[in-house]
């Protein structure tokens, strides 16, 4: 059992949103944006620090979110894919003086992921001897997921061809997956965004 609780959140927000045809990170959600909502959710969790990885339109996105407590990481190779963004953030984290016990990787386009679920992932990570606590999907396992420090070097070597899912697949015996109960919905198209936005607005009326 792990006694430490020093976990960093890596929030991936570097993509170009080509299928969305808009800057996905800045789309309105509740009283902020999709990225702003993800930042709020992460900040309210048990994580120690939040590292947001930017790439496409990094300057404009960062200027729209002026939270001084956030650590911003700009991945110059964002076009190479999610793996390179994870590697960029991990390399940044390894250069700090902070000894993290785990990294929780999450996305900015899963607005139903809430603080309760992030804390459930971290609590499970702390209470079990598993090196990875992932999210269960219909066709596999993925992020949000917590990775033990034993995986940091591997995370730092990810490329455009390999992402966090590949590390999960290679370590199935050292992994446990949680049921997100529908919170894992991600938004790739404007239609998906509008449909979920309408549902969210109707629920708040």
Q: What are the tens digits of pLDDT across the range 131-187?
A: 999 999 998 999 999 999 999 999 999 987 678 888 999 999 999 999 999 999 999
| CATH number assigned to the domain comprising residue 187 | 3.90.550.10
Is 154 within the bounds of a domain? Answer: yes
**64-86 burial code (b ≥16 CB/10 A, e <16):** ebeeeebbbbbbeebebbbbbbb
Residue with tokens 């591997």: 154
Residue 37, domain member (yes or no) = yes
Residue 173: burial class (beta carbons within 10 Å; 0-12, 13-18, 19+): exposed
33-59 pLDDT per residue, tens:
999 999 999 999 999 999 999 999 999
Tokens of 65: 């979110």
CB 87 within 8 A of CB 135: no
With respect to residue 1, please indicate whether it lies within any of the assigned structural domains.
no
Render pLDDT for 81-139 as a digit per residue (tens, 0 to 9). Answer: 899 999 999 999 999 999 999 999 999 999 999 999 999 999 999 999 999 999 999 98
CB atoms inside a 10 Å sphere around CB 172:
12
Tokens of 10: 């890596």
The string over 17-42, giving b where at least 16 C-beta atoms fall within 10 Å of a residue's C-beta and e elsewhere, is beebeebbbbbebeeebbbbbbbbbb
Any domain includes 2: no
Query: In the structure, how many helices (H) and strands (E) does the chain have?
Result: 7, 9
Contact assessment for residue 33 and residue 11, using Cβ atoms and an 8 Å cutoff: no
pLDDT score for 202? 83
* Domain residue limits at 170: 7-204
201 pLDDT band (50/70/90 cuts)? confident
Number of domains in the chain: 1
What is the maximal distance between C-alpha atoms in the chain? 47
Residue 82 located in a structural domain: yes
């Amino acid at each position: 059992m792990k006694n430490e609780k020093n976990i960093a959140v890596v929030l991936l927000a570097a993509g170009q949103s080509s299928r969305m045809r808009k800057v996905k990170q800045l789309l309105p959600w509740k009283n902020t944006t999709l990225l702003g909502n993800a930042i709020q959710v992460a900040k309210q969790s048990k994580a120690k620090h939040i590292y947001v990885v930017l790439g496409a339109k990094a300057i404009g996105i960062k200027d729209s979110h002026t939270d001084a407590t956030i650590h911003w990481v700009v991945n110059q190779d964002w076009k190479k894919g999610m793996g390179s963004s994870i590697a960029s953030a991990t390399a940044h984290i390894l250069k700090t003086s902070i000894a993290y016990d785990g990294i929780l990787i999450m996305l900015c386009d899963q607005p139903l992921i809430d603080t309760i679920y992030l804390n459930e992932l971290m609590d499970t990570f702390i209470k079990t001897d598993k090196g990875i606590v992932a999210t269960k999907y219909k066709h596999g396992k993925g992020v949000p997921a917590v990775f033990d420090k034993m995986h940091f070097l591997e995370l730092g070597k990810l490329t455009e061809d390999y992402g966090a899912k590949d590390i999960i697949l290679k370590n199935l015996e050292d992994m446990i997956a949680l049921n997100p109960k529908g919170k894992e919905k991600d938004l790739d198209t404007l239609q998906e965004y509008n449909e979920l936005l309408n549902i969210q607005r109707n629920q708040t009326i």
